[in-house]
Structure 1
Amino acid sequence: MSRDDDSTAVRTESGRRRASWLRYLSFTHIGVVYVWLALVIVFSVWAPETFPSMTTVRSVLNGMAVPGLMALALVVPLSARTFDLSVGNAMGLANLLVAWLMVVRGWDVLPAIAVTLLAGLAMGVFNGLVVVSARIDSFIGTLAAGALFATVGSMLSVQTITGGRLMGPFGGLATTGFFGLYVPLFMMLAVALLTWFFQTYTVTGRRMYALGFSERASELVGIRVRRLRFAGLIVAGLTVGVAGILLASSVQSGSPNIGPPYLLDAYAAVFLGATQFGGRFNAWGTVAAVLLIATGTNGIYLVGGEPWAQSMFSGVVLLLALGASNLEQAIRARSWIRAKARQRPGVRDGLPTDEPGSVVTTAP
């Protein structure tokens, strides 16, 4: 090979690397990061005395722990194309249960946490029985299950449970950490890391993605579809159990109505995250979306926005995420059609040509 050929090969390889980096840094790949930076700039200019400070940074990061766990609870079942609309009420029941066990029943911290985690696991199993075993659509089945979880919570208490037992060691779970960053945040990041590893490096995680793309094709290649969907709902139940415990430690109380408001933010984050880092439900895209929503809601609060503006912000984010997901799918479908058209003989850029071997039809 001549020197000219070597230099051409080097330039080609360099161009490919540059193109890959440009694709990685494109708006369609990490658009959440660019929007987050824009929000930081806007709120820093809007509220220069309060927003650009370490207090705000710690508040945003610590405040995204429980919403992040709620959103991460949805990543695995949604990867298997299974919706879980019970996570809000399930987290509320876990929050109320741990407070009820400690304050009303007088249990110690560790037994109360253990039973609450088992309750979260049981709620996931119940959802699996309803959706997978009874073959009820996941929208309807988990919505009905959530109503049942809320009923159980009302049977425990219709009022907020508070007491000194929720302070001390239990309350310290949410106030212990490093550099002003507390344990719930690190637990959320640990769950994100485990979810990322599961989806990326395990056979079961890749089968979850395959099931989400096509249930019929997954069945034809021997994937145990029902078992995977069941497992995804169990993971969601256990994760929201952890979120309920950490929320009770943070607010040092248990409330029967505390869980449902988290549902909208969780779905907004997970669907927005699905448009990032590869265009599928994934852990780090979800974490980035949670950070975006937490920054927006904190910024609205600091500039003196009305309470309804925060809910509106989450709703707008969810609508934009769904729209971006549909647009991305349309762009990919069009690119695939064009690529197939270029592979056919006698076709260039999707249009027929008159090159040898091609067939061109003309109007009479």
Structure 2
Amino acid sequence: MTRWSPRGHHFIGSYGLPAVTVLLFLVFSVALPDTFPTRDNVSSILSNQSIPALLALGATVPIATGKFDLSIGYGLGLAHVLVMRLIVDEGTPWPLACLAVVLGGTLVGVLNGVIVEFARIDSFIATLGTGSIMYAVTGWLTEGSRIVPGPDGLPASFTALYDSRFLGLPLPAFYVLAAVTALWVVLERLPFGRYLYVAGSNPRAAGIIGIPTHRYSVYAFAGSGLVVGFAGVLLAAQQQIGNPSVGLEYLLPAFVGALLGSTTIKPGRANAFGTLVAVSVLAVGLAGIGQLGAQFWATPLFNGGTLLMAVGLAGYAARRRLRTRGASDRHPPDDPPAPSASPAADSP
């Protein structure tokens, strides 16, 4: 009986999700030929999903080390409110306000990493606690009300961070592409990324070979905070008001993208292009069911179901890698056939 090739398993695991993305797009294009396969719809998807994509990339970095940053939704809300507060209420030039928020996000990430690694608090609990504190700070800054610009509005150069187009596509799409490329280089091409993966997969082995796992975990949380800070700047440019209740709704899609992304391209580990593919699946799926007239509860249902699928697939991929590795250790590749014995060897 013919056995399924491990190479075939690897191909499906690596590229099955991109194929699903293309299939979804084709299905919705057939179902909605007048609205879905249009340039305006594609531009809308790229623009609307830029912030969830950035957050998913931010969540990917700690996941590479085996940690989770649940504060990213709260951090997004605080970052965009702080940008608006600095520009509108304090009169800070917008480039300086954006830089301060991005640096502040990075420092918050460092704080998360220090709490997790040196206070030895589980990342779920630690980042949930710091996230709640950030939510309280957001409420304190806004006193529970929105920050609304004056009659002159926000500087046009600031809102252009989100509204502009480049090569006919929304500018935020290029932010996401740049972030994916940078994260791919860091994780796949630099020793820093390999150290993150080793620290996440086997901390004891990493410590034995001299990798400072605690330090690299702090670096990972700092990277997550930096991305969250930038996403908050982009959210402020998008909404053009400071809304203290915004942010938490981005948390679930970000983790769906990061966890589902670990099941594709590089199955079994968090990776930049996998996260991008996973976000694309979510973007196409949500846009399609929205245009089909789905009820408001369809979005959280889709996100929650996809998260469960992502966690299940991630666990399956990890178990399959272990089984494959164990099988290869027990059954090494067959030796090449021995050459035929020469007649001289058979002679007495």
TM-score normalised by L of structure 2 = 0.89
Matched, 1:301 2:287: no
Provide the rounded CA distance (Å) in 2 between the counterparts of 1:25 and 1:39. Answer: 22
**Cα shift at 1:145:** 0.3
Extract unaligned runs of 5+ from structure 1: 1-18, 346-364
Indicate conservation of the 8 Å contact 2:46/2:172, yes or no.
Answer: no
Compared with structure 1, are the counterparts of its residues 257 and 325 closer, same or farther at alpha carbon in structure 2 (3 Å cutoff)?
A: same
Q: Say whether 1:75 aligns with 2:60.
A: yes
Instruction: Give the distance between the partners of 2:170 and 2:19, measured in 1 at CA.
Output: 26
1:224 positional shift: 0.2
Aligned to 1:242: 230
Aligned counterparts of 1:33 and 1:149: Cα–Cα separation in 2: 36
Q: How many residues align?
A: 327
Gap runs ≥5 in structure 2: 335-348
Task: Please show how residues 206-285 of structure 1 align to structure 2 within 5 Å.
Answer: 206-279=194-267, 280-285=269-274
Q: 1:331 aligns with which of 320, 324, 340?
A: 320
Please list the CA deviations of residues 134-155 of structure 1 after superposition, one character each: whole Å capped at 9, or x if unmatched: 1111110000000000000000
In the alignment, the residues of structure 2 paired with residue 249 and residue 129 of structure 1 have an alpha-carbon distance, to the nearest angstrom, of 31
Give the corresponding residue for 1:351.
Answer: none
User: 2:95 matched to which residue of 1?
Assistant: 110
Distance 1:342 1:201 in 2: 31
Could you tell me whether the CA contact under 8 Å between 2:255 and 2:307 is conserved in 1? Answer: yes
1:129 is displaced (CA, Å) by: 2.5
Distance 1:344 1:246 in 2: 52
Which runs of structure 2 are paired with 1:88-103 in the superposition (5 Å)?
A: 88-103=73-88
The answer to whether the Cα contact below 8 Å between 1:23 and 1:29 also exists between their aligned partners in 2 is no
- Contact 2:43–2:170 (Cα < 8 Å) also in 1: no
What whole-Å deviation, never above 9, does each CA across 1:199-243 have from its counterpart, x for those lacking one?
Answer: 111111101000111111111111101100011111111110000
Structure 1 residue corresponding to 2:307, chosen from 318, 324, 332: 318
Runs of 4+ residues deviating >3 angstroms:
22-25
d(CA) in 2 for partners of 1:140 and 1:259? 19
Q: Give the partner amino acid of 2:281.
A: L
How many angstroms does 1:259 deviate by? 0.9
Q: What letter matches 1:64 in structure 2? A: Q
| Structure 2 letter corresponding to 1:53 | T
Query: 1:318 Cα deviation (Å)?
Result: 1.2
How many angstroms apart in 2 are the aligned matches of 1:28 and 1:342? 23
Amino acid at match of 2:173: L
Q: 1:82: how far off? A: 1.4
Q: 1:121 to 1:334 in 2, by over 3 A?
A: closer
Corresponding residue SS for 1:307: coil
Letter matched to residue 113 of structure 1: C
Q: Is contact 2:46-2:170 (8 Å) kept?
A: no
Structure 2 letter corresponding to 1:161: I
Q: Deviations over 1:250-299 (max 9, x none)?
A: 12122112111111000000111101112110001101111111111111
Q: Among residues 130, 138, 163, which one is paired with 2:115 in the alignment?
A: 130
Aligned partners of 1:229, 1:25: CA distance in 2, in Å? Answer: 29
Residue identity opposite 1:29 in structure 2: S
Residues 88-144 of structure 1 show CA distances to partners (whole Å, capped at 9, x for unaligned) of 000110011001111122222112112211221221122122112211111100000
Normalising by structure 1, we get a TM-score of: 0.85
| 1:52-105 Cα deviation digits (max 9, x unpaired) | 211111111122211111011112211111110000000110011001111122
Does residue 1:189 correspond to 2:183, yes or no? no
Q: Distance in 2 between matches of 1:127 and 1:108?
A: 29
